[in-house]
C-alpha cells in the first residue's frame, strides 16, 4: 500500500532515512521542513502494515525533483523502489512536471543502475555536491504528456 505522508509520519520517515543512509540521512527537522513545503510531497510504502519505503519529492516549475528514495534493506529488490518512482513520476506529471531530476553519489553504482533501468540518464557531474564532499551524478528523465 502506498499513501501520502504527513507530519504524523515523521518518526517512520526518520527511521527509514537512518536505516537507509545512516548518518547521511535527513534530520527530523529536514523531514518536517520537507513535509511542510508546499512544493513538496512525500509518500510511504507499507508492507503488512509497516512502512518500508519512502520517496520525497519537490516540484520546481516543470521539474519534479526526487529529494530522497529509500527502501529498508530487508525489502529491497522486491519492486518497491520502482513502484515508489512510478508513483512519483505520475504525481509530478499530473502537477505539470515535464522532467524528473535526481542526484546520486558517483560511487553508488547500484542506485545508478536502478535509475538507468527506470529510464534515467546521467546528464552531468556535480562536484562536491554532498556535504561530506562526494560528487554526484545528476540524472534526468523526460515525462511523457
Task: Supply 62's cell numbers.
Answer: 516543470
Residue 131: is its pLDDT beyond 80? Answer: no
pLDDT of residue 128: 79
Is the pTM above the cut of 0.75? yes
Identify the residue whose cell numbers are 519537490.
Answer: 58
Question: For residue 24, what is the DSSP state?
Answer: G
For residue range 17-39, list pLDDT tens digits in order.
999 988 888 999 999 999 999 99
For residue range 55-98, list pLDDT tens digits in order.
999 999 999 999 999 999 999 999 999 999 999 999 999 999 99
Domains of the chain, CATH where assigned: 2-142 (3.40.630.30)
Cα–Cα distance between 96 and 61 in angstroms, integer?
8
Instruction: Strands of 6-145 (E only): list them.
Output: 40-47, 50-60, 63-71, 99-105, 121-126, 136-142
Amino acid at each position: 500500500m502506498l499513501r501520502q505522508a504527513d507530519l504524523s509520519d515523521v518518526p517512520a520517515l526518520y527511521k527509514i532515512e537512518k536505516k537507509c543512509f545512516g548518518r547521511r540521512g535527513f534530520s527530523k527537522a529536514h523531514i518536517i521542513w520537507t513535509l511542510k513545503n508546499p512544493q513538496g510531497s512525500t509518500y510511504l510504502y507499507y508492507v503488512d502494515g509497516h512502512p518500508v519505503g519512502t520517496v520525497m519529492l519537490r516540484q520546481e516549475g516543470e521539474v519534479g525533483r526526487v529529494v530522497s528514495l529509500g527502501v529498508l534493506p530487508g525489502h529491497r529488490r522486491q519492486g518497491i523502489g520502482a513502484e515508489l518512482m512510478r508513483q512519483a513520476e505520475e504525481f509530478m506529471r499530473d502537477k505539470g512536471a515535464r522532467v524528473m531530476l535526481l542526484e546520486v553519489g558517483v560511487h553508488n553504482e547500484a542506485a545508478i543502475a536502478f535509475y538507468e533501468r527506470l529510464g534515467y540518464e546521467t546528464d552531468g557531474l556535480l562536484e562536491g555536491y554532498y556535504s561530506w564532499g562526494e560528487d554526484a551524478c545528476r540524472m534526468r528523465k523526460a515525462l511523457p504528456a
